[in-house]
Chains A and B, each alone.
Chain A
Amino acid sequence: MGILIRALLLLVLTGCSSSPEPKDWLYQQLGGAPGLEQLADGLLREIEQDRQIVHHFKDTDIARFRKLLIEQFCELSGGPCKYSGATMQESHTGFQITEADFDNLVGHLIKVMTEQQVPVAAQNRLLAKLAPMYKDVVYR
């Protein structure tokens, strides 16, 4: 029994110490700069084909939107970038974005990440960072 407990302790301790996660873990998991560009392009393709949400983008400067999206994902994932756009609340006010619109975008993001073979743990990490933005984006 004593040996078992010691072995278990060792396992727990090495398990904790062997993986000090780098600050840019998520950024690397998403494929770094080229990965984020692909992610943004994939997302733009999905939005373009989504009749429910595409109208929100009719006056959007897509090139600028793409740049800001990449910056934001980069900063959120611990990459070497600084998001230079407006706050989520400022940039979504007046658009009347609904819960269904937000759900659709989350669905597109999951689809694109899955297509790009982003591991499930990294997908969930990014979603966890984006989910709290719901209150700043929806019904503004």
Chain B
Amino acid sequence: MIDKRDAKLSLFFLSISFLALFIGAIAGLLQTLVRSGTIELPLSIGYYQLLTAHGVLLALIFTTFFIVGFLYAGISKTMGALYDVPRRTGWLGFVMMTFGTILATIFILLNKATVLYTFYAPLQASPWFYVALVHVVVGSWLCAFSMWNQYYIWKKKTNNKLSPLFSYMAVMTMALWFIATLGVAATILLQFIPWSIGWVDKIDILISRTLFWYFGHPLVYFWLLPAYMCWYVVIPKIIGGKIFSDALARLAFVLFLLFSIPVGFHHQLLEPGISHSWKFFQVVLTFMVIVPSLMTAFSMFAVFETAGRKKGARGLFGWVKVLPWKDVRFFAPMMGMLIFVPAGAGGIINASHQLNQVIHNTLWVTGHFHLTVASTVALTFFGIAYWLVPYLSGRTLTPQMNKLGIIQTIMWTIGMAFMSGAMHVVGLFGAPRRTAYTTYSDHPQALDWVPYQAAMAIGGTILFLAILLLIYIIGYLAFKAPIGEMDFPLGEVEEKATSTPIILENWKLWVGISAALIFIAYTLPFWHMIEHGPPGSPGYKFW
């Protein structure tokens, strides 16, 4: 058990995370029912209002709170109890982030911020919505500073010993988050807040979009890296194996820091005002960030195979059978990993320059990120929560809850297969994302999409039931489960693996290269946007 005070901090983050997940899931269920034409919302609630709540609460709040809570627990476990300053900074971060979350939720519910979670200008929400987002971001920065501070003190006290793998990855994840959120903080503070308050009457749209997507792509890696931490560090222990290679795991995280940020243009491939050469350049960089995921795929299979062979598995694939399929701590993340195969393939397609014209802003994209963040990442997070929540609250994961967790995972996978599968297919037909129920005056093509939208609603309903089950399990594990000692599964490194080169902990070097790549990829096109930009736009409230 880690220090009680750290467990409490971590649990507070996890609670807000699951609360946000529950509210966001209600919005999600209603959306699929509206879009399939099954129900109509009572007059006072809008489809796009729900969509805003769903996006903000799940993509931004559920993920960020869960990640910070998970990282604190792991840091306290691997580097020892938090020192005073890091812990206090962590609480301050929690208060700021929670305040921001409540404020944002209120303004979304008041229908004052129906701008979706990407809040593209010149749709203009209440200034309080943007102020709320700043609180979430700055609060998360305090958490980043606090984790770095812990790492720094630990390094000093241990005479620069090699950091534990988990903590190294946590520091890297927060470094990536900090560099990425500089972009979104800049656009909110310098553009959206002055403009929504009325201090300036115009906003430069392309610059705001570019700053948003400078943040928007590394955001998806901020979700993914903690899932990778579970795969690299936690899963080997659960399956009775060893970490394949400490050095290669760290190298993968370095590559994510370098290549996940200077690639935002691949979300803006179909926009005017950015030359196709800069787009293509960032497409090439985007392809570089696939490499660490290829490395991860190999490492994971290697861990499975090595562990299986130690248990006596024979034949080419005998090791598959001896994996602990009945242990939800393994099963849920494992389903997440398997789903990452089609998710990753879809991602490569999305980023392939003009191929983006086939799928951009269609339901394919929605289907895609429901496989990445809402399945790969979410299932891994659920798998973590099943042992982390009882671990932190001094209780145990009972066999019964383990079984329910497995059922939950199966339901999630089936629900997502329906919903995301239908989204992918109908997206290729051209059905747009972020659109309420419509048949475009009974256009035959749009009518062909309706059955797929019904499949989405079936999937959405299964997913919602799975969320109810999840909330029940988590609630039981936090408050009801038998008192006892749980394990924080932390893998050890394979004895024969090569030692870790210290260059991997040279933060100045990696942050420096990351900054250099960002400057190369962004300076000239960004300068062009400023120099040759059109007159700005006033704000619009079209909802």
Are chains A and B native binding partners rather than an unrelated pairing?
no
State the B residues within 8 Å of A (CB): none
